[in-house]
Amino acid sequence: MATSRGAVFFMLAVSCVCSAVSHRDQQTWFEGIFLSSMCPINVSTSTLYGIMFDAGSTGTRIHVYTFVQKMPGQLPILEGEVFDSVKPGLSAFVDQPKQGAETVQGLLEVAKDSIPRSHWKKTPVVLKATAGLRLLPEHKAKALLFEVKEIFRKSPFLVPKDSVSIMDGSDEGILAWVTVNFLTGQLHDHRQETVGTLDLGGASTQITFLPQFEKTLEQTPRGYLTSFEMFNSTYKLYTHSYLGFGLKAARLATLGALETEGTDGHTFRSACLPRWLEAEWIFGGVKYQYGGNQEGEVGFDPCYAEVLRVVQGKLHQPEEVQRGSFYAFSYYYDRAVDTDMIDYEKGGILKVEDFERKAREVCDNLENFTSGSPFLCMDLSYITALLKDGFGFADSTVLQHIISWVY
């Protein structure tokens, strides 16, 4: 799953004024994510810069931030951002770590062009990898990160001690929750009226919210609750990251589940795909052959039955989510934009049932529906199943301001 741009901005800023936030074993909860060494050497400088690489499962993104420090000790104000990206992600170079690191080298040129040379040595550069690398064998993930660290070491920028690492899935959820609630004003004046967050990446998905009922706290599995202090208030969050339940991992799980029921050679076939389709798909550095059901059923109902096997009974369903307010982003946003359910620039507000309605429309017209992705029917059906049968949201649950945090 990918780190949100808003979260990156917020934590860069917060880390520079040394806000005290802690969880788990009373350690600084962003320790290992944004260290104090990331703070500019002279916080009284009027203009500050920060470079953040988000190494997700589908691509690597660079965010070059410009901050204005109006007064020492206050939060810097984000003045601007330069964004660029490359595909595929680092995990696609699982057996070519040097080649993978070269994609990062190319993006570093964007930073050089965006930051005055006089600031290079005091501008921190950090790369945080998410679920794409968490799915790899540990030694191969470390090899990739080592090569990236070598690229950073040779760069003219400030390289913190732990500048290259894999982010824990729970931290992804917490970062998104803090960012959304801070930017929407929910954390101002120490209020506890907050919104939950739903993040859907390529390899993992996160759900995070602040429980309001004691019953939720009592029935929540161990490890799903995290307490931390921020702005002189204590927050006890429900947060969990489901590795392998991101959108692209779910595609593979859906297709893979069909293999035991018979496939045409090594080609995975699905009711979620057009009958005529014969194609190749690369995920995690592996190439897969896939296609539509040439003789079997196609359409929403058989497709939904396929994706349902991926989520049904495998995710915890806190009852409270049916009454809560949630913001959704990443692939929730992408697929909503792809099907004109929300505006690309402004985002929008949808109900869970809107995803099912659009999934039916697309899946039941596979032969006539044109799209940039042959997986659109499967993706919309999976999102519907994830929200309803996975997390337990009601059809009428409102997903507020679905917004782009990642792409």
Question: In a 3-state reduction of DSSP, which class is residue 188?
Answer: helix
253: left (phi over 0), alpha (psi -120 to 50) or beta: alpha
Residue owning tokens 């490890």: 223
Distance of CA 386 to the CA centre of its chain: 15
Q: Are 3 and 62 in contact (CB under 8 A)?
A: no
- Residue 172 annotated as catalytic: yes
Cα three-residue angle 154-133-407, rounded to 5 degrees = 85
Residue whose C-alpha is closest to residue 349's, from 339, 334, 336: 336
Q: Which of 138, 147, 150, 172 is catalytic?
A: 172
Residue owning tokens 């679920």: 131
Query: What single string gives the DSSP state of each residue in 106-172?
Result: HHHHHHHHHS-GGGGGG-BEEEEE-HHHHTS-HHHHHHHHHHHHHHHHTSSSB--TT-EEEPPHHHH
- Residue 54 pairs with which residues in a beta bridge? 61, 128
Handedness of CA 289, 129, 127, 68 (dihedral sign): positive
Determine whether the annotation assigns residue 263 to a binding site.
no
Neighbour-count burial of 371, counting CB atoms closer than 10 A to its CB (0-12 exposed, 13-18 middle, 19+ buried):
middle
Q: Are 403 and 351 in contact (CB under 8 A)?
A: no
Question: In a 3-state reduction of DSSP, which class is residue 381?
Answer: helix
Phi, psi torsion values for 393, nearest 5 degrees: -70, 150
Determine whether the annotation assigns residue 206 to a binding site.
yes
Distance of CA 256 to the CA centre of its chain: 23
Instruction: Name the residue type at position 296.
Output: G
Q: Are 35 and 207 in contact (CB under 8 A)?
A: no
189: left (phi over 0), alpha (psi -120 to 50) or beta: left
Return the beta strands (E) in 244-366 as ranges: 267-270, 278-283, 286-292, 326-330, 348-351
Determine whether the annotation assigns residue 325 to a binding site.
no
Q: Are 51 and 84 in contact (CB under 8 A)?
A: no
Q: Which residues are annotated as a binding site?
A: 202-206
- Binding-site residues for ATP, in ranges, read 202-206
Report, as residue numbers or ranges, the catalytic residues.
Answer: 172
